[in-house]
Structure 1
Amino acid sequence: MSNHHPTTPPINWFRNAAPYIKAHRGRTFVIVFSGNAVTDAHFDDLIHDITLLATLGVRIILVHGARPQIETRLKAMNKTTRYVDGLRITDTEAMNAVISGVASARSSIEAHLSKNIANTPMSGIRLSVVGGNHVIAKPVGIREGVDFQHTGEVRRIEATAIRSQIEQGHLVLLSPLGYSPTGEIFNLSATEVATAVACALKADKLIFLDEESELRDKQHNAMRQLGLSEAQALLHNQNNLADETCRHIRGAIDACLSGVPRAHLIDRHIDGALLHELYTRDGIGTLISAGGYEDLRQAEINDVGGILSLISPLEAKGILVRRSREQLELEISHFSVIERDGLIIACSALYPFSDDEAGELACLVVHPEYRQKGHGDTMLNYIENRARSQGLKRLFVLTTQTAHWFQERGYNPVEVDHMPVSRRSLYNYQRNSRVFMKTLD
């Protein structure tokens, strides 16, 4: 009798998270959240997730906002303030409310990070939280006749001091305040502070926990990844984005241009969103990066295992001709792959017959979870361009299952004798594959 029990979803999730646990260990993440998050009834859940990141070896810098805490104090003072271009005009009286509100938010965060209660995710964990005068600021000054008074902007970040703290295992908590060499205190934007810190430290990730729901395109599809040009176009073309989301996208763009590999926008209202974004392949937020999240390239010998995992199910069904690992290793230079965050999600091969100025397109496979998303067309275009660069004039493909797909893309049915002689002699009449050919421009 077998003692094997069905694997539960949490166990599978944990197993699939293993590559990300390894990849994120020792990395530096800057995470920013609003003052609204601090007052939320579920703030403990977010703190638990941040604590888990720390226990998994992530070096964390937290930047918090404090707008609702400040507004509460201004209301008690029966005082209102004005915003211009998203910045509060902070006079001396308002600055007192800012200092008090920031202190209240910070104290609450530190208290939550200090919890050590049995039967909770914080049980047995002691986080060391540090801060300091690491943000050097200067006044915004007068813009278009408006004096912003004690509202400031980041002048520089004391990156060496922050790096020293996180390397010692401390969690660094930064508030939206900055200090000048003359001893003044300035009211800052948490988004600006977080972006400046990520840039100064060349952090591995800048993570915005957004108050708004996830980004969606005009067809209401979730926007899971954006290049810099796409993010800039989104800011330029869409007028229905919340002000905070726009600030976060701008911060993400600035960070990526300054060497931060990836920035993330995550809906903080989703339980466990931070963990889902960081420890699953497709995440739950929007990734903005200067480089490609998916890499389309020529295959390397280290890709053999990933290609075999991709094609083996189709070989078992008889859809593809079986290839041994040894054969694949010998032919790896003919293959191209699409790699998505460490997973091979598509592959294809090009076998040239230079004497006939023809090439065979073979083994075009897309991972089941990524079909209907254009990866097949992307790979096909890549192979066709690769064939052109080799001086090939025609491309042919043998298929038993995908005839219509290739026909829709300009491949026409031909007889077996249209193939190069050397390939024709290897044709398997038992498989009875249909042959399609396309003349390359």
Structure 2
Amino acid sequence: TLKTKIESVLSSGFLDSPLLKNNIKVSSGNFITARPIGVIDGTDMEFTGQIRKIDSEAIFNKLTNKEIVVISPLGYSPIGDVFNLSYEQTAAHIAQSVKAEKLIYYVNSSGILNIHGELIPELTFNKAKRLIEHIENPKNAPFISYNDFNILKSSLYAINNKIEKVHLINRNIDGSIIEEIFTDKGSGTILTEYSLENIRSAREVDINQIRNIISPLEKKGILADRVHKDISSFYVIEHDHNIIGTVALYQYSNLLEVACFAIHDKYQNLGYGKKLLKFCEKKALELNIKELFILTTQSEHWFIENNFKLTDKKFMPNARKKIYAAERNSKYFTKGL
């Protein structure tokens, strides 16, 4: 069985392994009490069961003793019957019982895919719930298998029961779990109760992180660093509490300047720039401003792709002309809202 294979691998000693002399302990047991599902629509489900109780104290004792606990999706009744359990639900219930911070599922693809076969890297509880309701039946989602659909539903249960993060990663890719947990980009889909992204006003304590993003662009002549002048005009976009982008907004009467617009190298081409730009547009509309403008030396194509138009500098606000650095020869782009 798969459980036996896992125990065998964890018990093996390889000469080139740093764990050779560590004597890994592996434990299993009757941690789950179950009951029969019973008769559903006239069909006796026999030894298909559902969880009644998980002995979390026994599991904690094993973990405290530095043992790896391997639990099969089997439950035992007080009268000696053994029931098959849904492995997706079993994992979610165990995670809830031991108050785990993370739950990791292996799935058939590189996470959850949309109707175009594209990876959905992040899902909040509400978005996952709407996705499940929209799909209803896995047949309506060509890129989500029946098993992965059930895993998605169990992930929702886990998030709803205080598991902070649920990761869905590709079972067929070596190292996918390491890439998902220990790299910024990840390798699958992560589910959380609330969005990992947050756009907020910058604070004094953010200055060093903002400069880390801006400085490489400043050295290339792409951006001019203004953070030292007025941090109150800056906003940052965070991902999982890390600052990954920044922008400064300056009002000139009925125009709003978008300045120091930058996304960290590791997070480019992932849609964060568009999200930050939408935030700028929203802030402009809140101020009853119907036009944005930017000055750029090397990013004109990205702004053109996002509906900015090259405009004669004579239309630049007079107050902005006074501090315009002619030696940079930045191009002037505007966007109507």
Same fold, judged at TM 0.5 (above): yes
Residue number in structure 1 paired with 2:201 = 298
- Aligned residue type for 2:161: S
TM (normalized to structure 1)?
0.66
- 1:185 corresponds in structure 2 to 82
Choose the corresponding residue for 1:336, options 218, 235, 248: 235
Structure 1 position 352 matched with structure 2 position 235: no
Match among 188, 197, 210 for residue 307 of structure 1? 210
CA distance in 2: counterparts of 1:268 and 1:117, whole angstroms: 23
Q: Quick check: 1:358–1:420 contact (8 Å CA) kept in 2?
A: no
- Assess if the C-alpha contact under 8 Å between 1:347 and 1:366 holds in 2: yes
The aligned runs of 1:140-151 (5 Å cut-off) are 140-151=37-48
Please say if residues 136 and 180 of structure 1, whose CA atoms lie closer than 8 Å, have aligned partners that are also in contact.
yes
Q: Tell me how large the CA RMSD over aligned residues is.
A: 2.8
SS at match of 2:323: coil
Superposed displacement of residue 439, structure 1 = 4.7
Residue 194 of structure 1: CA displacement?
Answer: 0.6
- Do the aligned partners of 1:137 and 1:155 also contact (CA within 8 Å) in 2? yes
Give the letter for the 2:151 counterpart: H
Partner of 1:213: 109
Give structure 2 stretches of 5+ with no counterpart: none
- Are residue 276 (structure 1) and residue 179 (structure 2) matched? yes
Residue type at the aligned position of 1:366: I
Q: For structure 1, which segment, 227-236 or 253-262, has the greater mean C-alpha deviation from structure 2 after superposition?
A: 227-236
The answer as to whether partners of 2:114 and 2:143 remain within 8 angstroms in 1 is no
1:257 aligns with 2:156: no
Partner of 2:144: 241
**Does the 8 A contact of 2:196 with 2:241 survive in 1?**
no
Q: Does 1:388 pair with 2:285?
A: yes
- Indicate the larger mover: 115-124 or 198-207: 115-124
- Taking structure 2 as the reference length, the TM-score comes to 0.84
Quick check: 1:432 aligned with 2:323?
no
Deviation for aligned residue 1:411: 4.8
More deviation, 156-165/262-271: 156-165
Shift of 1:141: 0.6
Q: Percent identity?
A: 33
Partners of 1:405 and 1:111 lie apart in 2 by 54
- Structure 1 residues 32-47: aligned runs within 5 Å: 38=2
Is 1:204 matched with 2:101?
yes
Offset at residue 159 of structure 1 (A): 2.8
**SS in structure 1 opposite 2:250?**
strand
Structure-2 change in CA distance of 1:224 and 1:199 (3 Å): same
1:398 is matched with which residue: 262, 282, 295?
295
> Is this contact kept in 2: 1:414–1:437, CA < 8 A?
no
Evaluate the alpha carbon distance shift between residue 117 and residue 436 of structure 1 in structure 2; reply closer, same or farther with a 3 A threshold. closer
Aligned 8 A contact 2:308 2:333 in 1:
no
1:297 aligned partner, one-letter code: R
Letter of the structure 2 residue corresponding to residue 270 of structure 1: I
CA 1:318–1:166 in structure 2 vs 1: closer, same or farther (change >3 Å)?
A: same
Question: Contact 1:116/1:125 (CA < 8 Å) preserved in 2?
Answer: no
CA drift of 1:151 comes to 1.6
Paired amino acid for 1:335? F
Residue 334 to residue 160, structure 1, CA distance change in 2 (3 Å): farther
Cα deviation digits, residues 67-98 of structure 1 (max 9, x gap): xxxxxxxxxxxxxxxxxxxxxxxxxxxxxxxx
Q: Comparing 230-239 with 370-379, which one deviates more in the overlay?
A: 230-239
Q: Which has the higher helix share?
A: 1
Cα distance in 2 for residues equivalent to 1:377 and 1:141: 52
Alignment partner of 1:409 out of 307, 311, 323: 307
**Residue 47 of structure 1 aligns with which residue?**
none
Indicate yes or no: 2:28 matched with 1:120: no
Structure 1: segments with no counterpart, 5+ residues:
1-34, 39-104
With over 3 angstroms needed to count, the CA separation of the structure-2 counterparts of 1:142 and 1:113, relative to structure 1, is same
User: Structure 1 residues 381, 165: closer, same or farther in 2, change over 3 A?
Assistant: same
Which secondary structure does the structure 2 equivalent of 1:155 belong to?
strand
How many residues align? The count is: 329
User: For 2:6, what is the secondary structure of its paired residue?
Assistant: helix
Judge conservation of contact 1:337–1:347 (CA < 8 Å) in 2: yes
Distance 1:278 1:235 in 2: 30
Q: Name the structure 1 match of 2:170.
A: 267
